[in-house]
Amino acid sequence: MLEVPHGIYRYGCINCGGEISDLRLQHMLPCEKCLPLHVTDALALIKEPSHEKVVELTEKLSKLHSLRSLKTLISELNEVNRLFEKLIGNRMWNAQETWAKRVLKGQSFSIVAPTGVGKTAFAMVMSLYFALKNQKSYIILPTTPLVIQVYNRLKEFVEKLNAKISVVAYHAKLSSKNKKEALEKIVNEEFHILVTTSRFLTSHYEKLLGKKFKFIVVDDVDAILKSSKNVDRILMIMGFTQEEIELTFKLIRAKRRILTLKAGSEEYTKLSKEIEKLQTFVEKLSKKTKTILIVSSATGRPRGLRVKLFRELLGFEVGTRSEFLRAIIDSYVKPKDTIENEVVRIVKLLGKGGLVFVPVDKGVVYAEYLAKKLSENNIVAKVFTSKEIKALEEFSRGKVNVLVGVATYYGVMVRGLDLPEVVRYAVFTGIPRFKFSTKLEDPHPLNILRALIIVREVIGERREIEAIDKLIVKMRKYLAIAPQAAVTELAEKLRQGKKPETDVEKVFSEALQYARKLMEDPEIKQKIRELKEVAVIEEEGKMFILVPDVMTYIQASGRTSRMFVGGITKGLSVVIIDDERLFFGLSRRLKWTIEEAVFTDFDSLELSKILEEIDKDRELVKAVREGKVKVEKAREWFRTVLLVVESPNKARTIANFFGKPTIRRRGDLKVYEITTGKYLLMITATGGHVFDLAVTPGFHGVYVPGEHYVDTYLPVYDTIKKCLDCGYQFTEYVKEKGRVCPKCGSRNIRDSLETLNFIKELAEEVDLVLVGTDPDTEGEKIGWDIAVHLRPYAKKLMRTEFHEVTKRAIIEALDNPREFNRFLIEAQVVRRIEDRWIGFELSRRLWSVFGKHWLSAGRVQTPVLGWIIKQHKKWK
């Protein structure tokens, strides 16, 4: 905490945007013009500074300008909190408050949050908030049971409010008569809140056009994206036309296309101009809708280009939770008996809440055999497949102890199961793997890619390797963005041997022929047999390759360790080794993917202690689900944090440690959002220095004692501006010329004040702002400049530092913030003033002597140059 001002900032006042000292900003106060009191007098009246008290005092003694919008936000947020208390029984949790602030500001966004954080409760209460203001809301859910559950809860809430609010639900279990009545109400707009499944959106969206929804919530974007046209339908419900959507999609395709072109080429220049024109149109278009959209993300990665329409028109990108954030004990067993008997032994030791995964090549038939075997040993087990969904319901209620399913990446038991309070452990009856014939009779695109990767490891010819590498890059590029439906369609065309038509089909067709040809070579076959990480087996005269499937293992074992408001639940995974080579491959690949993951011998574990910890976490999750955890406790467990770093690349890297982040944009500015289990973490970047010394006031930008009512040296800071046409960087506009580049006269200027204003808005949303600029004197001062401007908007603000950009270092930095170091700040202030005074004065001396105004001298370079000249003379 500073006791005297260390600088004056232009445009820094939180109310009028005028000049203000860092001392006043540090105490959340506006400038002396807006609040005509000395800092000590203001603090004596306010006692403990808060947004409400500062707004109240400023309004009492002066006039509200920018603070008026903060007053409105505080008032509306209190209103939502009172509604929560009335309906749920407590105030909003941290994450819910963050979301509420965004909704009240009219912002659309994507939610990535752990189990138990209250996404559904938030959607219901906010829709009722708007209903009380006679505005419509639409909640889209993935399943009929969820629609019924939310509808019944909303009806209970309406009764509690004793308000005339109409809630309409449409789902598959309604009778024909009730379906007809619901549709009539929808068409005639006789509702405030509509609740349906995503299927309704596909079949009846035209009935929703023109209904002027204020608030739309999509729970589980994966369900919506099964039909990519659903993105268009949501946008049309929000008021965009099909033509506007197609023009926006044209921009998305153009942006993707330009990445493949050579910069400076004729086509590149032409496309750049088209993009600029389309971007201007879309930016205007994005301000058209008044509807707020919230998209809740699941674990699946949103694929396809149409989902990027949200980015261009609504300013956000959909993210997903990370499956790499886990608290799992990975263990293995070398079976002394049959695998089936080993499964029985392990399940009897571990008890209920188990998932048993069988290898994909053994399939459902083997899963059914295993479930029968477990049942014969007094263990209630059922097979869980997409056709046996009822088994999941019985498992969640405790009627079934163990579910048996197939270990395949898109399988329902691998991806479609999220029961953190029920699932305790996973058992793998063999290494999860891919299996394909060397002849590739079933030429799935993924198997073609896998085959070429294996061949590449054993092939000797350099030219062959280069050709394979080119194909691998092209295939990976496509598979990274292609929706599952498109990959399935491509697989079918390859299977039928149809003549390739598109570029994608040609690439995969060429790769297929190439892989088949190479895998027929006896020498290559032999080298594949010798590989340590894959298994080769013979069946009915055919050669098959088995490859460890690490991503399926991570996803499947991840069912035992889920995020919730208290962090990440502990889980246990047991792999029964059926092939040493595959286990070796799985171990290595898991280590590459998750650095801390190590397999331990199951029989050496302290099982009683581990199971006690596992069960303790389940009890916590259950308490959270049932609302038995006090809000204050939950606030300690799960906090909303904004981390501010210098480099945009660093911000992106940090965000990607924890999953695929959701991204919100404003022009070129981005904030990444992800959950770590303990924090709802937002990461953004300053782009380096935001402020520098001004030029004109005082002595080269510094007030000296006796000047401007100061009795010390007080630097004046202005925001850094950069001309985007000529690249010139400056702090002050020339008064006579106006807001143009002093060098070339361009109006195409980027002002770091825009970055600062964006970060201020983010600081308003969170519990804690952490300034994570570089860990040196310069980083401390950059951080301080940012911190004092964010302090009036933040509940709490601290400094944090990390010396390496790794997940471990970032988690440590988040957990161990500190106060700013005043001595480091003062050291950098002195250094910068020295640079300015010595540099400016020496440079002017050079100009007067040599008459050349492009010459410059500096605090460091001039003495060093003098020393070099002196040494050179000595040497001569």
Q: Specify whether 144 is located in the same domain as 178.
A: yes
> pLDDT tens-digit profile of 303-312?
678 889 999 9
Instruction: Please give the C-alpha separations between residue 707 and each of 697, 699, 830, in angstroms, as whole numbers.
Output: 10, 10, 18
Q: Specify whether 643 is located in the same domain as 541.
A: no
Structural tokens at position 201:
């959106």
CATH of the domain at 97: 3.40.50.300
Q: Specify whether 664 is located in the same domain as 731.
A: yes
CATH of the domain at 808: 3.40.50.140
Q: Specify whether 148 is located in the same domain as 195.
A: yes
Torsions phi, psi for 708 (to 5 deg): 60, 40
Angle, vertex CA 564, rays to CA 558 and CA 568, nearest 5:
50
pLDDT of residue 845: 86
Structural tokens at position 852:
């050349």
Q: Residue 461's pLDDT band (boundaries 50, 70, 90)?
A: confident
The mean pLDDT value for 704-726 works out to: 87
Q: Specify whether 298 is located in the same domain as 152.
A: yes
pLDDT of residue 322: 64
Give the chain's domain count. Answer: 7
| Distance in angstroms (rounded) separating the CA atoms of residues 46 and 55 | 10
Highest-pLDDT range among 533-537, 564-568, 601-605: 601-605
In a domain, 316, yes or no: no
Q: Which helix (H) or strand (E) holds 242?
A: helix 242-258
The mean pLDDT value for 89-103 works out to: 90
Torsions phi, psi for 204 (to 5 deg): -130, 20
Q: Specify whether 804 is located in the same domain as 721.
A: yes
Q: Specify whether 592 is located in the same domain as 618.
A: yes
Q: Of residues 76 and 495, which shows the higher confidence score?
A: 76
Q: Residue 464's pLDDT band (boundaries 50, 70, 90)?
A: confident
> pLDDT tens-digit profile of 768-790?
999 999 999 999 999 999 999 99
> pLDDT tens-digit profile of 9-23?
999 999 999 999 999
If one counts every other C-beta atom within 10 angstroms of the C-beta of residue 849, the result is 9
DSSP classification of residue 607: H
The mean pLDDT value for 845-860 works out to: 82
pLDDT of residue 115: 61
Helices (H) and strands (E) in the chain, counts: 33, 35
The mean pLDDT value for 205-220 works out to: 92
Q: Specify whether 55 is located in the same domain as 88.
A: no
Task: Check whether 455 has a pLDDT greater than 70.
Answer: yes
Task: Check whether 385 has a pLDDT greater than 80.
Answer: yes
Contact predicate 862/842, CB 8 Å? yes
The mean pLDDT value for 465-489 works out to: 85
Q: Residue 623's pLDDT band (boundaries 50, 70, 90)?
A: confident
Structural tokens at position 691:
């402020």
Q: Of 572, 601, 625, which residue is a domain's last?
A: 625
pTM of the model: 0.80
In a domain, 295, yes or no: yes
If you compute the radius of gyration of the chain from its CA atoms, what whole number of angstroms results?
31
Q: Of 526, 548, 570, which residue is a domain's last?
A: 548
Structural tokens at position 688:
């380096």
Task: Check whether 567 has a pLDDT greater than 90.
Answer: no
Contact predicate 350/611, CB 8 Å? yes
Structural tokens at position 220:
């589980």
Angle, vertex CA 11, rays to CA 7 and CA 13, nearest 5:
80
Which residue carries 């001298």 as its tokens? 857
Q: Specify whether 12 is located in the same domain as 141.
A: no
Domain that holds residue 803: 638-820
Lowest mean pLDDT among 264-273, 419-428, 439-448, 618-627: 618-627
Instruction: Please give the C-alpha separations between residue 178 and each of 136, 139, 172, 246, 478, in angstroms, as whole numbers.
Output: 21, 19, 11, 36, 45
- The Cβ-side half-sphere exposure at 838, using a 13 Å CA radius, reads 13
Contact predicate 427/357, CB 8 Å? yes
Q: Of residues 351 and 95, which shows the higher confidence score?
A: 351
In a domain, 631, yes or no: no
Q: Of residues 296 and 565, which shows the higher confidence score?
A: 296
Q: Specify whether 656 is located in the same domain as 746.
A: yes
pLDDT of residue 285: 92
| Distance in angstroms (rounded) separating the CA atoms of residues 871 and 710 | 44
Query: Which has the closest alpha carbon to 429: 515, 501, 346, 485?
Result: 346
| Distance in angstroms (rounded) separating the CA atoms of residues 412 and 395 | 14
The mean pLDDT value for 804-827 works out to: 93
Task: Check whether 700 has a pLDDT greater than 70.
Answer: yes
Q: Specify whether 229 is located in the same domain as 94.
A: yes
In what side-by-side order are the strands of the sheet with 570-576? 381-383, 402-407, 354-359, 425-428, 570-576, 327-333, 600-601
Could you write out the three-class secondary structure of 304-344? CCHHHHHHHHHCEECCEECCCCCEEEEEEECCCCCHHHHHH
Contact predicate 858/723, CB 8 Å? no
Instruction: With H, G, I as helix, E, B as strand and everything else as coil, classify residue 501.
Output: coil
Query: Which has the closest alpha carbon to 795: 48, 45, 6?
Result: 48
Q: Residue 321's pLDDT band (boundaries 50, 70, 90)?
A: low
pLDDT of residue 802: 94
pLDDT of residue 293: 97
In a domain, 586, yes or no: yes
Angle, vertex CA 478, rays to CA 473 and CA 484, nearest 5:
140
Q: What is the largest CA-CA distance in the chain?
A: 106
Amino acid letter, 48: E
pLDDT of residue 859: 78
Task: Check whether 793 has a pLDDT greater than 90.
Answer: yes
pLDDT of residue 636: 67
**Could you tell me what percent of the chain has a pLDDT over 70?**
96
pLDDT of residue 260: 75
The mean pLDDT value of the chain amounts to: 89
In a domain, 633, yes or no: no
Task: Check whether 182 has a pLDDT greater than 60.
Answer: yes
pLDDT of residue 326: 81
pLDDT of residue 633: 62
Contact predicate 199/173, CB 8 Å? no
Torsions phi, psi for 29 (to 5 deg): -100, 150
In a domain, 320, yes or no: no
Contact predicate 786/644, CB 8 Å? yes
If one counts every other C-beta atom within 10 angstroms of the C-beta of residue 543, the result is 15
Query: Which has the closest alpha carbon to 5: 731, 826, 833?
Result: 826
pLDDT of residue 631: 58
Q: Of residues 340 and 261, which shows the higher confidence score?
A: 340
Query: Which has the closest alpha carbon to 679: 793, 798, 567?
Result: 567
pLDDT of residue 134: 96
In a domain, 67, yes or no: no
pLDDT of residue 427: 98
Contact predicate 566/638, CB 8 Å? yes
Residues 6+ apart with CB under 8 A from 186: 168, 170, 194, 204, 207, 208, 211
Structural tokens at position 465:
């390797």
Task: Check whether 300 has a pLDDT greater than 60.
Answer: no
Q: Specify whether 538 is located in the same domain as 583.
A: no
Q: Residue 252's pLDDT band (boundaries 50, 70, 90)?
A: very high
> pLDDT tens-digit profile of 36-55?
999 999 999 988 888 899 99
Q: Of 532, 548, 564, which residue is a domain's last?
A: 548
In a domain, 66, yes or no: no
